[in-house]
Amino acid sequence: MADDQPKFPHTPVMLDRIVELFVPALDGPGKVVVDATLGMGGHSEGLLERFPDLTLIGLDRDTDALGIAGERLARFGDRVRLVHTVYDGIADAIAGEGFDAVDGVLFDLGVSSLQLDRAERGFAYSQDAPLDMRMDRTEGQTAADVLATYDEGELRRIFQRYGEEKLAGRYARAIVARRAERPFEMSGDLVQVLHDATPVAVQRQGHPAKRVFQALRIEVNAELAVLERAIPAALDAVAVGGRIVVESYQSLEDRLVKRALAERTTSSAPAGLPVELPEHAPTFSLVVKGAELADETERAANPRAIPVRLRAAQRIRK
């Protein structure tokens, strides 16, 4: 029966592990956590259920996501504060809710299940839809705008940098040639051009549109530039004893996160000093050594958990 179906079918990745990692930081009265990538609220719901005194600040640039999460989390009342912002606005969001610091920050990066599952958003190359790809549909250029206005060199650059695409030059040339006939409007048009430009041997190695769509999405939403600002801002906002947990789904994101955490968890003392001065001591310690993966059971049950890389750290001093 329809009534037996879950109202919010999204399965948050590594939820149990994330809750476990936050226990030392969030178990107690007066604790505050920021879900910097709220999405449909699955992780937030799990945290609010586990920590009954917790206040949660949920951030998202996607107004559709805020609406769904707001409905999902309504039962928690004023323990939930939702903010329409990109996650590099985390400091302003925390201050705007009246807090000087928080006890936890969670990032679940990349495109959300909501955005992938709604064909009209244009994120999925497997479904024909308008080439939008904006996480915040209230502003900014679309993927169609990028394809219409970037020259061949610029297209090649973003396919190489954000998609790590070996055929970036070939695809950029094919796109420029095709748009001279008519502009790109639908994702199916782009998929067909990429397919036709891909050697048969390469087609057997995976869908030719995957990396190009990733690159366009990152460019449209300035994802890496935002992330490069957001992680340091989040670390600055964490109180002593608080924790940050980050889930990344592709190597470009994970490298940025790894570097930001390394800067805070290693000494800044110049080489050769006989004694480390207090001001050079690390301000965070790693909770997870390296990047943790989802276990085999979760990977089998939830394919979106397959590429995840989880990192976590705890503030140990101001």
236 is in an annotated binding site: no
Give, for 260, the enclosing helix (H) or strand (E). helix 251-265
Cα 133 from Cα 227, distance rounded (Å): 18
How buried is residue 31: exposed, middle or buried, by Cβ count under 10 Å (0-12/13-18/19+)?
buried
Cα 166 from Cα 183, distance rounded (Å): 24
Cα 108 from Cα 253, distance rounded (Å): 11
Decide: 197 and 170 in contact? Cβ < 8 Å: yes
Decide: 104 and 54 in contact? Cβ < 8 Å: no
140 is in an annotated binding site: no
43 is in an annotated binding site: yes
Residue type, 32: V
10 is in an annotated binding site: no
87 is in an annotated binding site: yes
195 is in an annotated binding site: no
77 is in an annotated binding site: no
Contacts of 164 (CB under 8 A, 6+ apart): 211, 251, 252
Task: Specify which residues 284 forms β-bridges with.
Answer: 315
Cα 142 from Cα 56, distance rounded (Å): 31
Q: Is the dihedral of CA 169, 171, 177, 182 positive or negative?
A: negative
Binding residues: 41-43, 60, 87, 108, 115
Which residues carry a binding-site annotation for S-adenosyl-L-methionine? 41-43, 60, 87, 108, 115
